[in-house]
Structure 1
Amino acid sequence: MWITTLSTWIRCWIIRVKSIRQHALSGGLIIANGFQNRKKQTGRIKKMGHLIGKEYCLEHLIEVAKSIVLAIHKAPQITGKTKIEAEIIWGEDILPIIEVMGPVAKVMRYVQWDYETIKNCYDKGESPVIILIGGKIASSNLNWNCGACGFSTCKEFNAYSKENKGGGQLGGPSCNWKVLDWAMACDWACASAWQYRVDNRIMGSVGFATNALGFMPNMDAQLGLALGPPRDMVYYNREEMHKSMSYELDKQDMVSCVPNMFTCFPGGGKPMYKTKDDWWAPPEFMGVGYSEQVMEAYQQVLFEQVPEMVVKHADKIAERYKNKNK
């Protein structure tokens, strides 16, 4: 009895398998026929694609940058009256920025870190994309008279600001409320970049260079957000800097740039600094004082070398904005 039942079950199973196979084949034909019908309707077959990752990274970075610019203009504001602008720069247009950063890097270490990173990435064919973020913050149309700027009224601040325009990367003097609005736009830009998993860092050094070159002439302050290349922690691990500096020089750099990270208990009035393994034998102290040598180096860079670089490119950059405003 059980043999008959098993035999019947096997025959049913074989019939079912054949049915499934036939149904699958007919389904494939239906799909194929459907494709052929679409071919007749459109007159063409969709081409296949093959993208090699890194070859398209720059194009993708530019598309991501466009989305980040949307985030910049969507960022909330406290005043609702701060004008924000953004520009996207890449390829050969980055070269003037690199050239201006070069001499400054000789006297300012944080600029050197940014300069070495951007320049070496560009030289290796991994050009970053830079989003320039500008804010109109050197005057107040709020009439809040809060006094945060140091003046009793917005009117007094505006009068002073008009006659005493600043320069450099952040300009100034500035309305504190508008600085907050601009800062939020920069924050949203950085957050948006990380949402796209794009390595990035906002840079005052780039803002200094673009301000000197005449980018965004209607903006009072500028910062540059560098995007890519597609490597991990490009602007924080600083792989390019590791190759150009010895360990001892790198360590001394850290002591000089962030001395608070190496200080002992400062309550005695003359804190010791842990600049070596046996920092207590003998202890070392850091002094405070005016440096004629440092000031001469600053002046030479800011008033001689930077203007020399700016003159090479300023007219061409200014022409773009003239054409844009026509």
Structure 2
Amino acid sequence: MKLNPEKEVIETVAKIMLISARTAPKAKGEDEIVTAIVTQEEKEAIARQMEVIGEQATHKFFKRDAQNVRDAEGLILVGLNFKKPAGVNCGACGYDCNSIIKQKTYEVEYSGPVCTIRVIDLGIAIGSLVSVAKELGVDNRVMYSVGVAAKKLGFMDSQIILGIPLSIKGKNIFFDRKPV
């Protein structure tokens, strides 16, 4: 008899989630979304990096989130690899579509500037993939902290990265977390 066989499907669930991100609607049908399933070794490296970042007074929550990452059975990353603006000249990024690509890139925790329409595409993709997890009964949480650590470690060629840890336990590990 195998105990807790449901945990063996986490990679399959992650792959199905990433399909949903890939097929989510995108502006003009142009896809700048990047996805990855993190290995156990990479997951630990991200958690360690989160703890390092969590030493900063403004980022103490990274340490709490690092424990969630360690406790999760799986972890996926979703990012935006911005190459060209959507071409609608909405101005939400602070520039027009011709001048945004000429701007000097700045690096803080994420890189910018990026096209706001492309960031909306990222949000739609994330909404699509977490809805799949919920439909399949897999607890998850979208985490900025995971993405910052993954970006610092150079895990994805993306200006913006978000991480989604996946958990299959009797109680949702992302619920009742202590405030920092």
TM-score (normalised: structure 1): 0.51
The residue aligned with 2:100 is: 157
Residue-by-residue CA offset, 1:112-144 (whole Å, 9 max, x unaligned):
22123223x2xxxxx43111101123641x332
Gapped runs of 5+ residues in structure 1?
A: 1-49, 122-126, 242-249, 254-326
- Whether 1:144 and 2:94 are equivalent positions in the alignment is no
CA contact (8 A) 2:38 2:74 kept: yes
Q: 1:83 aligns with which of 2, 27, 32?
A: 32
* Cα distance in structure 2, aligned partners of 1:221 and 1:154: 19
- Residue 121 of structure 2: SS of its match in structure 1? helix
TM-aligned CA distance change 1:138 to 1:113, over 3 Å: farther
Which structure's relative contact order is higher, taking Cα pairs within 8 Å and 6+ residues apart?
2
For residue 64 of structure 2, what is the amino acid of its counterpart?
A: W
What residue number does 1:286 align with?
A: none
Deviation at 1:85, TM superposition (A): 1.7
Which one of 165, 173, 178 corresponds to residue 234 of structure 1? 173
Q: Secondary structure of 1:235's match? A: coil
Matched, 1:166 2:107: yes
1:111 is displaced (CA, Å) by 1.5
Q: Secondary structure at the match of 2:106?
A: coil
What does 1:24-173 correspond to in 2, within 5 Å? 50-53=1-4, 56-107=5-56, 108-119=59-70, 121=71, 127-137=72-82, 139-140=84-85, 142-151=86-95, 153-160=96-103, 163-168=104-109, 170-173=110-113
- The letter of the residue matching 2:175 is Y
Deviations along 1:144-174, one digit per CA (max 9) or x if unpaired, are: 22222112x21111101xx223341x32211
For residues 233-252 of structure 1, the C-alpha deviation after alignment (integer angstroms, 9 at most, x for no partner) is: 211223xx5xxxxxxxx5xx
Residues 198, 228 of structure 1: 8 Å contact kept:
yes
Deviation, structure 1 residue 228: 0.6
Alpha-carbon distance between aligned partners in 2 of 1:57 and 1:209, rounded to the nearest angstrom: 29
CA-CA distance at 1:232 after TM superposition: 1.8
Q: Distance in 1 between matches of 2:88 and 2:3?
A: 55
- Residue 317 of structure 1: aligned partner: none
Structure 2 residues without counterparts, runs of 5 or longer: none
**What is the count of residue pairs matched by the alignment?**
178
Query: What letter corresponds to residue 8 of structure 2 in structure 1?
Result: E
TM-score (norm: length of structure 2): 0.89
SS at match of 1:237: coil
Higher alpha-carbon Rg: 1
Q: Does residue 189 of structure 1 match 2:129?
A: yes
Cα distance in structure 2, aligned partners of 1:144 and 1:130: 34
Partner secondary structure for residue 79 of structure 1 = helix
Aligned mates of 1:231, 1:223 — CA distance in 2: 25
Residue in 2 that maps onto 1:178? 118
CA RMSD of aligned residues (A): 1.9
Name which of 210, 221, 224 aligns with 2:163.
224
Aligned to 1:208: 148
Which structure shows the higher helix fraction? 1
State the SS of the aligned residue for 1:150.
coil
Using the alignment, how far apart are the partners of 2:175 and 2:114 within structure 1?
30
Percent identity (aligned): 26
- Please tell me the residue identity of whatever aligns with 1:67: I
